[in-house]
Structure 1
Amino acid sequence: MKSHFQFTNQQRNGIFLLLAIIIGLQCVYTFVDASNKEIPSHNEMVDAFRLELDSLRLVAIEERKPKMYPFNPNYITDYKGYTLGMSNVEIDRLHRFRERDQWVNSAKQFQEVTKVSDSLLAKISPYFKFPDWVTNPKPRRSFNNYIVDNFSEEADPRDGNTLSYDQKIDLNKATTYQLQKVYGVGEKLSDRIMTYRNKHKGGFIADVELLEVYGLAPEVIERIKNQFTVKTPRVIKRHNLNTATRDQLVTIPYIDYEVAHHIIEERTLRDGFKSLEELTKVEDFPINKIEIIKLYLHL
């Protein structure tokens, strides 16, 4: 053991120096604070990135929110009323009101009928969209309507007996001579009927197309229908009124792009048409041609 603790002066100095270095480094590690050293940073750039992230987060939140589009409150369904925040009682009040064939024409009247709160009305009423004929009424243009359904059913002694369907002659196969046997149909009118029939491959679609023949009076059309009817109608493509696009609608006679746009707008407000007769509520719709237009549509 003694040999291990016997050092020369030079060795002792080396040991003391090593201990001094160790103690000095330990003191530096313990007492010197290196955390106060400034780390260079680009604060403006960081703030810019933070603002951009916040804006993107807000956009994402808005996109996740359910979107509300303008709608006609007269056609609120149970599901739509629930999504708007209406109670079942309030929805039922509206449905009972509509069952009496009455219409809500303003936000105030909507509240009177449904009894919704002021806060809910303020939230949903900005999205109410009523048809132009309600919000901006204007006189309808007058038309010379010659619709067969409005004709008088009073018998005319010159009409002759009305034949059964089997006894009637197919209008698409009738000759001018047969047509001229009808009282009021002369050579000119029979030629016009034949010209209209030949203009379309396959002839007439239905009896109502006789309204399209120039010069045929309502009573003459009735006499023709007593003796003739369309048994082999022309094949046409019919479109679903509730799904047809604007380009499909304009292929129908008497419907241009403007009327097609109004039809789609009215369809959106009503959440779909319930009958073809509702087309008469469409702005600028050619009411006097509805019987012809209905031949090309279905629900």
Structure 2
Amino acid sequence: MKNIKSHFTFTKQQRSGIFLLVVLILVLQVIYFTVDFSSEKYDDNTEIVAQFRAEVDSLNLVKLEETKPKIYPFNPNFITDYKGYTLGMSNEEIDRLHTFRNANKWVNSAKEFQKITKISDTLLAKISPYFKFPDWVTNPKSKIKYQNSYTYDSKPKDYEQKIDLNTASAAQLKRVNGIGEKLSERIVKYRDRSGGFIADVQLQEVYGLSPEVIERVLNEFTVKSAKPISKLNINTATIDELVTIKYIDYEIAHHIIEQRTLREGFKSFDELTKVKGFPVKKSEIIKLYLTFD
């Protein structure tokens, strides 16, 4: 017990030292809980960190934009279900466009496209800069008026009896049942603008001609003096060359080049029609301008 008691016996100098240590601890505790240790240097670091985070967020946004599907110029009349979905159109908006086109009607402006599909102003502003209409829509020529005199017989004629479609006048065309003044002018305009018909199937390209009317026209007319054309080799053509063909836009041309590389060249037109987005309904028109040599 005596040894234990000796441990708690302090001199006057030791007691003063212990008292001073206790006071110092209390002072430090008070300072710790009452004094704000933040500094301007810390604030500066916070601003730098905020700037760094903003820069990282900006880079993430750029990366996100790069991963989004690219939009190439296209004719809105030939929007498929998949194409409409990637553009942000709803099923109802896509169906309205298809219903309009199934009636053999054409959209000729961004405003008309919105009127038919009822898409929002925001979506129209986003996709309309990529609309690509034919030159005859964007740069219409003056119309020439003709008078109708009579109607051709519906009975088909042989090749020799038919009139050359490349020399027929609007007045002659207007005599076919179902061909009025506007349609006859439109056929002549299309012919003159394209430098003449290459084949009878090109009548399908004339806006407003129904299959029944085309059949009646071909009972009386046919292409006899087709202009010579330079066909593109599908296995060597570039993207810029492919988009010169009607109904092939930059997106489809891009898919054609991809598939051509994977297949090591196309062997037949049937293989080409399997390319993603290829306008199969217009294959007979497209075929006129291609070769597989």
Could you tell me the TM-score, scaled by structure 2's length? 0.46
Could you tell me the TM-score, scaled by structure 1's length? 0.45
Larger Rg: 1
